A = this chain, B = another copy of it.
Amino acid sequence: MNKIEPKILQGFVELLPDEQIAYNKMYDKIRSVYERFGFLPIDTPVLEYSDVLLAKAGGETEKQIYRFSKGDADISMRFDLTVPLARYVAMHQNDLAFPFKRYHMAKVYRGERPQKGRFREFCQCDIDVIGSESLPLIYDAEIPAVIYNVFRELDIGKFTVRINNRKILGGFFTYIGQSENVTEIMRVIDKLEKIGAEKVGEELIKIGCGDAETEKILSFIGIGGTCDDIIASLRALGVDNELFTEGVDELEEVISHIRAFGVPEEYFTIDLTIARGLDYYTGTVYETKLVDYPSLGSICSGGRYDNLTGYYTDQKLPGIGISIGLTRLFSQLKDAGLIDIAKKSTIDVLVVPMDKTAIPAAIDAAGKFRAAGIPSDVYYLEKGMKPKMKYANRIGVPFVAIIGESEMAENKVALKNMLGDGQVTVSVDEATEIIKKG
């Protein structure tokens, strides 16, 4: 028979089981923190009507969509979890309690040009809070508080949630006479960390800012210090613009709430260069960076939008949300050697019968381990002890319980700690205690 080469599509990724175990552990921890803060789970179809999904898309986004027809239906694969959320909330609003706090951790699809760190199928872990008509600013602080708890629990080193408010940017650029250039300026200053102030200045000139304006913008984005310093410096600018003042007031309130949530000062900061490209953000915006790995870029981003569901309903539904790109984060952490793939197995003990006659005793022992809460498996293949132990090593199981004739006679197992040395002959109950201790 002609063989077909087993391969997967470019830009797609799949993990070996030991990596998948580490990935799932991250997924589970994120989910657990989201639930601990009262976010409710939802899941939406991967496929949607194209006109529903692409209501607001266009340009680059639309080109990346996996879109096709089947029967009469013009179908697209979801490219984020925010548009499906908007559709979901608009469709089910009478069945939801507001503020509606939901999490959604699922795969999305973008046919991007494949390159390192970019995937065409990737998992996003989103939380959003949707209000009916209005939503208090305290939620803009709860979101980074949740993220603080997530990354602390993931134990991936020092990180900083960088916070800004687009009203400050919009207000300031308008105040200096660049109201028509706001989006372009945001795009340029976003590059500050990458290309430096000098190049940012050159690009600002290129997009039509005058020398004086460019200087003002450079000095504005140069504002640094603690959160309180930055707020004070912004107020000291004496900007006579309502939007600007509103933005500074909001930012100040959000910062004070973040402190109330018990997030230590070293884990958050104000960063005036952050704008987030997507044009639906209208207030608070976030990015998150690993302090020791700034080159990884933002590992968690989001912000506030005034009206999520405008394309589907007249009801005003403002919201705030953030997203962790788990596939990318996992891949980056793995490449940086920060993922511990020590646990290669879902079980804690492998029961190994010496020969066929010991199989019933082995099944019995494994059942007892499981009943005591210890995941367990039996090696059933009739092979010599050497390949049996080789298999145990290969799957990285911490304990092996061997059962032969003498163990059966005593109703015991020979328990071997695969990480330590030596072995003890004990009852299954005693073995349970030893395994539970480590």
* Interface residues, chain A, with chain B CB atoms under 8 Å away: 1, 3-10, 12-17, 20-21, 24, 35-49, 51-52, 55, 66, 68-71, 73, 75, 86-88, 90-92, 95-97, 99, 101-102, 107, 109, 111, 120-121, 136, 138-139, 142, 260-262, 309-314, 345-347, 350, 359-360, 363-364, 367, 370, 375-377, 380-382, 391, 394-395
Contact = CB atoms under 8 A, between A and B. Distances in A.
A7 B53 CA distance: 10
Contact of A107 (B17, B46, B71): B46
10 contacts: A7-B49, A8-B91, A9-B49, A15-B43, A16-B92, A36-B370, A38-B350, A41-B346, A46-B109, A260-B364
Given A1-B310, A45-B121, A260 B360 contact: yes
B6 A87 contact: yes
Contacts of A17: 40-42, 96, 102
A96 B15 CA distance: 12
A138 to B, nearest CB: 5
Given A6-B90, A55-B4, A367-B262, A377 B38 contact: yes
Given A37-B375, A346-B41, A8 B381 contact: no
A111 B46 contact: no
Given A40-B21, A42-B17, A391-B97, A91 B6 contact: yes
Q: Which interface residue of A8, A16, A96 has the most chain B CB atoms within 10 A?
A: A8
A39 B87 CA distance: 37
B35 A1 contact: no
A414 B402 CA distance: 56
Nearest to A55: B4
Given A311-B4, A363-B260, A391-B97, A41 B14 contact: no
A283 to B, nearest CB: 16
Contacts of A95: 16
A121 B47 contact: yes
A48 B102 CA distance: 31
A50 to B, nearest CB: 10
Contacts of A71: 111
